[in-house]
Amino acid sequence: MSVLGGHPPRWLQRARADGIGTTGGPLTAERAQTHTAAVVGSAGDLFDVALPWLTAGLAAGDLTVLACDPATSGALRDRLGADAALLVTDPGIALYGTRPPDAVGALRRLVEQAGEQGSGRVRVLGMPCFGSSPRDVHETQRFEAALNPLFAGAPVDRLCVYDRRVLPPAAVASATATHPHLLAGGTVFTNRGYRRPDSFVRSLPVPREPMEERPAAFAVDGVQSLAHLRHQLRAALARYVPDREQCEDLHLAVSEIAANAFRHGVPPVSARIWASADRVVCTLTDRGTGVIDELAGFRPAHGDDLSRGGMGLWLARKLWDHVDLVGAPTGLTVRLSTSLR
């Protein structure tokens, strides 16, 4: 707790709500998860894919979940009739109104709930929320890739429906790279185009904000003291983030990333902040050149035991919209960006 510098423990309340720190070891099951993608181009295609999937889950006694936008969920419920009452609706696990660590926590809770009823399995019909900007698409692509190692061995059957009528082409193209199985013509088959999650995420471009092309509003180099850097970052964020609670959250996450740079990286440490009326970007750089885990931060590094630390990137992903790890011969940069309330 001392590493948090006196911040109120809202993050711990969120962690407990996610089942982190309150449950036991890794998720296990007799059969590993399936993570399947189906690309559709019409309402008819969507119903042809989704309704058999949902009906089969209910018939098997699976905890069957709709993770779609409200309009699609309503249309599917109407088609299912009375059976729709047996469905769980949780759009958050498809990133509607949530960030990736919260979606992972929600899916973990569903797995635990399924273990106490029915078949013990979770069956999800999801339509991942990609947003409209390249940075949002990138974040969801990374999340879809991360689900594979995060839930390896878990009793989850997840079908992700990609609707080419509404999704950006880059999002649709990534369906093949991020799903080990594909559904077409009523048949699920092994996807030869599937890529290892770490390799796929490493290949994604890191979107930059236009403001990053101009001098930073705040810049500091060669910092030798973590406490001093935290103080400087707090003062800088307070100038550009008008919502006090959001400012505290952003500073909490940045402070933990700074602590990682001092504890696990190679000093000196540098920091930059760019700001506009509606967005803020922060980068922290140290001289470390070790192996980057592009999928880190979707859960605390040491699992459920928060007393062991490892919360920096997890907090960053929970409290900032976008988190990128950018390696270079001269060091490692953690780049954070978010919209302002």
For 178-212, the pLDDT digits (tens) are 999 999 988 999 999 999 999 999 999 888 889 99
Neighbours of 61 (CB within 10 A): 15
For 277-298, the pLDDT digits (tens) are 999 999 999 988 767 788 889 9
**Encoded tokens for 31:** 């059969």
Cα 22 from chain centroid (whole Å): 21
Identify the structural domains of the chain with CATH numbers, from first to last: 31-203 (3.40.50.300), 209-339 (3.30.565.10)
pTM of the model: 0.85
Residue 256 in 3-state DSSP? helix
How many Å apart are CA 90 and CA 65, to the nearest integer? 7
Bridge partners of 88, per DSSP, are 65
Residue 80 CA: distances (Å) to CA of 56, 65, 324: 12, 13, 41
Q: Is the pLDDT of residue 159 over 90?
A: yes
How many Å apart are CA 246 and CA 264, to the nearest integer? 27
Q: Which pLDDT score, from 0 to 100, does residue 266 have?
A: 86
Q: Is the pLDDT of residue 76 over 50?
A: yes
Spell out the residues 6+ positions from residue 213 whose beta carbon is closer than 8 angstroms to its own. Answer: none
User: Once rounded to an integer, what is the mean pLDDT over residues 248-265?
Assistant: 93
Q: Which pLDDT score, from 0 to 100, does residue 327 have?
A: 87
Cα 221 from chain centroid (whole Å): 30
Q: Which pLDDT score, from 0 to 100, does residue 301 have?
A: 59
How many Å apart are CA 260 and CA 311, to the nearest integer? 9
Give percent above pLDDT 90 in the chain. Answer: 74
**Encoded tokens for 328:** 């270079």
How many Å apart are CA 271 and CA 73, to the nearest integer? 44
Q: Is the pLDDT of residue 15 over 70?
A: no
Widest CA span of the chain, in angstroms? 64
Residue 106 in 3-state DSSP? helix
Confidence of residue 308 (pLDDT cuts 50, 70, 90): very low
How many Å apart are CA 202 and CA 293, to the nearest integer? 9
Confidence of residue 224 (pLDDT cuts 50, 70, 90): confident
In this structure, of 82-91, 214-223, 309-318, the range with the lowest mean pLDDT score is 309-318
Mean pLDDT of all residues in the chain? 87
11/142: higher pLDDT: 142
User: Is residue 157 a contact partner of residue 34, using CB atoms and an 8 Å limit?
Assistant: yes
How many Å apart are CA 295 and CA 212, to the nearest integer? 24
**Strands, E, within 164-278: which ranges?**
181-184, 187-190, 218-223, 269-275
